[in-house]
Chains A and B, each alone.
Chain A
Amino acid sequence: MKIHTLVVLVQDHPGVLNRAVSMFRRRGYNIASLVVGHTETAGVSRMTIVVESVNVEQVVKQLYRLVEVLKISDVSDDPVVDREMVLVKLHVTGQHRAEIVALTEVFTAKIVDVAANTMVIEMTGGPAKVDNFIDVIRPFGIKEMMRTGRITMVRGAKGHSGAELIDQAAE
């Protein structure tokens, strides 16, 4: 089992996310993380899918069977920028406040809300750094937490824009 990161460009028709997820479910592929969002091109969405698979080639081929899928890149072995964001609400007593503030600085995280007994911290970074931050902060008492899942972009010139794929098809 290897972890793969797929960058998938799709036409953003209704149901396209449903189609993709349904395909993963019925073929027994395990999604570790999935994030969808708009791209620079109207009508084209982008998914970053992290999948555990022994045969990622099959996953890619099955995804390509969906009519709305424009391009799939397996970027697992490429140099990439990988980002996740996490919001953490901590239960904070007075004695730990200073320590937490110091830690957020170390992780270049931001304190975005402070109340009588709680504090919300926003942190962005690579998945490993986010893991690390959560480990460090956990002993203070996490009340709520939400991670976004990973978004990924290959470094350098490599990569595809939605517009480029649409134009190619139009020719």
Chain B
Amino acid sequence: MSEKRTGAQILCEALIQNGVDTMFGIPGGAIMPFYHAMWEYRTDLRHILCRHEQGAGHAAEGFARSTGRIGVCIGTSGPGTTNLVTPIADAWMDSTPLLAICGQVSSTVLGKDAFQETDITGITMPITKHNYLVKNINDIAYVVKEAIHIATTGRYGPVLVDITKDALQASAVPDYSKKIFLPGYRPTVTGSKKQIKAALSLMLKSKKPILMIGNGVMMSDASAEIRVFAERYKIPVITTLHALGAFPEDHELSLGMPGMHGWVHANRAIQEADFLMNIGGRFDDRVTGKASTFAPNAKIVHVDIDPSEIGKNIEVEVPIVGDARIVTLSLLEEEPEETLVAEFHKNAAVWLEYIRELQTKHQHKQQYLNRPDTSTMLPHDVFAALTKAMNTRGNYRVVTDVGQHQMWAAQLLDWYKPRTHITSGGAGTMGFAVPAALGVAVAHPEDTVWAIAGDGGFQMTNQEMIVVIQENIKNMKVAIINNGFLGMVRQWQELFEGKRYSGTPLTSPNFQKLAEAYGWTGITVESVDQIDAAIERAYAIDGPVLIDFRVEREVNVFPMVPQNKSIGEMITE
């Protein structure tokens, strides 16, 4: 190891040593030395060429969210890196472990408005957990190690490493042994014993308890522990958008999703609860509605690895800073008095029965189980058929885009396993689904990966479909819920703006032909009776398939909480 290496070779070796085997990117001037070196390392370091850096970034996000490992994306200086800004912001909002490697102009011309120079560290400062400008070859090995450490510990997040071209081209003897030294970065992962006891005793005093789980449960792989905890205490479980799948929806304790498009019974349960323990969720406004009206009767316990999330949106009784899985394990270590637990079980059973009655009352309308027998195809028909197909085939992962279809997918598909539902939650980035699904498909070749998008969002990043062909990826399918509108915006216009459909009607190309042009199989579905056969065919074909579902144009997602209203005030039709 005492031979000299170029900075670019050191970068490759450092990435491999720190567990990276897959990267998504696009080359260009400043980053070319890295691509030059990558050639020698290509058996250990797979590079997937995307068609737009935004696609590369989302693909890396999909890879990361579905595996829990670092996702890596690459862009060259200037426009190559500014194109990465959207996925970086997305990863920041959803705490996704992402490493963005950026080429930068040579240090000799830095600051002189050189060709393709952009201050990407300046631009991304507010949307990264940390970022670096590396100008010295001797810093490369250590910075890569530190960057991946920061991205994949504590509260995960995006880290950007900008490296000047001359640092990549220089040569030096690498030192990979330098130990990570971050005196200002020591995330608390173990919850305070005292607080854990306090939380549990508060819970046991309650009669209407709710356990709400969020992204932290997914990110820390705490599903199994959460299940044991919920079953031990028989406490009803609510799963936020990012926790869908972290607790199986067919479990007798599962209440499903809360919030703006959550279920009436879940929201009502929150509003009536006298105790709510949130593990790994950040009380986003799409969950809480008007924060001051959220869970007015509940004593709240909040478990989060990021202390700044606690008390930010919602005041809490018992704060616990720590990793969701480790804290849940500590909760399980406690052995409260059996008589207390028995009393708690008794009350919780009455409470659960009450919630189930609410659910029965609202379910039919919500899920369109009693849909009028029309000839038009509702999105609900598509989701019902997809659910049926997915459940019989097994091993599915779904990546959704942003809009109405995203909420229908969250509501109507069945979520049983962690990391099977991946979406852009915090940022709500249209264009996420197709490239992120590509990343998921690369990471999980054994699973069928569905990208579900609207006709709007699909047109933002569908160019990445050709990457699926180039990389010979067989396990990706796309379903477009094509309603001829920027649907979610149209819904708001219909409900709150007197149907002024300003900027929302949408003309699209023939998606089937577009798919075929990419070398995919394309299918168009125009009526209910064609749905099952199309999905059947998509599964039968060993290769990428796109289905364009031309659904009824003006259908709304219900239930819905109008913005900044209490989640107790849901519109159901």
Give A residues with C-beta under 8 Å from B. Answer: 10-11, 14-15, 18-19, 22-23, 26, 57-58, 61-62, 64-70, 165-166, 168-170
Contact A11 B184 (CB under 8 A): yes
Closest A residue to B121 using CB positions: A15
Which one, B126, B129, B306, contacts A23 given CB within 8 A? B126
Chain A residues contacting B183 (CB-CB under 8 Å) are 11, 70, 165-166, 168-170
Contact B182 A67 (CB under 8 A): yes
Q: Which of A58, A67, A70, A166 has the most chain B CB atoms inside 10 A of its CB?
A: A67
Contact A58 B133 (CB under 8 A): no
Q: Which of B301-349 contact A (CB under 8 A)?
A: 306-308, 311-312
Distance (Å) between the CB of A39 and the closest chain B CB?
Answer: 14
Name the interface size band of chain B: 10 to 19
Q: Which of B126, B308, B311, B312 has the most chain A CB atoms inside 10 A of its CB?
A: B308
Contact B126 A58 (CB under 8 A): no
Q: Give the distance in Å from the alpha carbon of A170 to the alpha carbon of B122 in the complex.
A: 30
Contact B129 A67 (CB under 8 A): yes
Chain A residues contacting B184 (CB-CB under 8 Å) are 10-11, 66-70, 169
Which one, B122, B186, B308, B311, contacts A169 given CB within 8 A? B186
Given A66-B184, A67-B182, is A61 in contact with B308 using a C-beta cutoff of 8 Å? yes
Chain A residues contacting B311 (CB-CB under 8 Å) are 57-58
Contact B306 A169 (CB under 8 A): no
Q: Give the distance in Å from the alpha carbon of A26 to the alpha carbon of B123 in the complex.
A: 13
Closest A residue to B312 using CB positions: A58
Contact B150 A67 (CB under 8 A): yes
Contact A14 B126 (CB under 8 A): no
Question: Counting CB contacts under 8 A, is B125 at the interface?
Answer: yes
Q: Which of B105-149 contact A (CB under 8 A)?
A: 121-122, 125-126, 129-130, 133
Distance (Å) between the CB of B420 and the closest chain A CB?
Answer: 30
Chain A residues contacting B126 (CB-CB under 8 Å) are 22-23, 26
Q: Give the distance in Å from the alpha carbon of A140 to the alpha carbon of B206 in the complex.
A: 70
Given A57-B311, A58-B312, A61-B308, is A169 in contact with B181 using a C-beta cutoff of 8 Å? yes
19 of the cross-chain contacts (CB-CB < 8 Å) are A10-B184, A14-B133, A15-B121, A18-B125, A19-B125, A23-B126, A58-B308, A58-B311, A61-B307, A62-B308, A65-B129, A66-B184, A67-B150, A166-B183, A168-B183, A169-B182, A169-B186, A170-B181, A170-B183
Closest B residue to A63 using CB positions: B308
Distance (Å) between the CB of B145 and the closest chain A CB?
Answer: 14
Which one, A18, A19, A65, contacts B308 given CB within 8 A? A65
Question: Counting CB contacts under 8 A, is B496 at the interface?
Answer: no
Closest A residue to B130 using CB positions: A67
Contact B306 A65 (CB under 8 A): yes
Chain A residues contacting B130 (CB-CB under 8 Å) are 67
Q: Give the distance in Å from the alpha carbon of A18 to the alpha carbon of B185 in the complex.
A: 18
Closest A residue to B122 using CB positions: A18
Chain A residues contacting B308 (CB-CB under 8 Å) are 58, 61-62, 64-65
Distance (Å) between the CB of A159 and the closest chain B CB?
Answer: 17
Closest B residue to A13 using CB positions: B132
Q: Give the distance in Å from the alpha carbon of A167 to the alpha carbon of B288 in the complex.
A: 43
Distance (Å) between the CB of A162 and the closest chain B CB?
Answer: 9
